[in-house]
A and B are shown apart, each in its own frame.
Chain A
């Protein structure tokens, strides 16, 4: 039996993906890949925090703006980081007049999308599709 198959037997893919959503890298940590898990956590968290510091927007769905559906999906990919930021931030909509606003949005969207990829990766590892 290969190492990938052993991992698939021991680990629950649903739990791995859910943990990966809750906090970046947590899914990999659960799968025993601690070093990549810590590095993923650092990368995604730094990206998200920089996005907030650049006064980027934590998107919400707006009627008449269909692209905000995709943006909201991307930002919610950051899991608890996104939820905590919405709860704690005095200005979750960002500051469109800030010179760094567009950079902030790009950083926030990228952090969420990276975490969504980590969810898929954790799922693949736990189900034995990736060694």
Chain B
């Protein structure tokens, strides 16, 4: 039996994905606490805003 752990909300699922990936790479690539938080913010912002930008660019295509 499958239990859906998150609501089916595209933005929420994308944001959680961005959070996990950002946390992973900031831990992997940086040693200092401040540097980690900086990279986390940059990655998270890039992924979420990049995702929104791509979605906006694709908006006219189905029609």
Chain A interface (Cβ < 8 Å from any Cβ of B): 36, 39-40, 43-44, 46-47, 49-50, 52-55, 90-91, 95, 99-100, 103, 106-107, 110, 114, 117-118, 121, 131
Contacts and interface: CB of A to CB of B under 8 A. Distances in A.
B17 A43 contact: no
A114 B25 CA distance: 9
B4 interface: yes
Contact of A43 (B3, B4, B13, B24): B24
Contacts of A103: 13, 17
Contacts of B23: 39, 43
B21 interface: yes
A131 B29 CA distance: 12
Given A53-B6, A118-B28, 18 more contacts: A39-B23, A40-B24, A40-B27, A43-B20, A43-B24, A44-B24, A46-B20, A50-B6, A50-B16, A54-B4, A54-B13, A95-B2, A100-B8, A103-B13, A103-B17, A110-B20, A114-B24, A131-B31
B12 to A, nearest CB: 10
Given A53-B4, A100-B8, A121 B21 contact: no
B5 interface: yes
Contacts of A54: 4, 6, 13
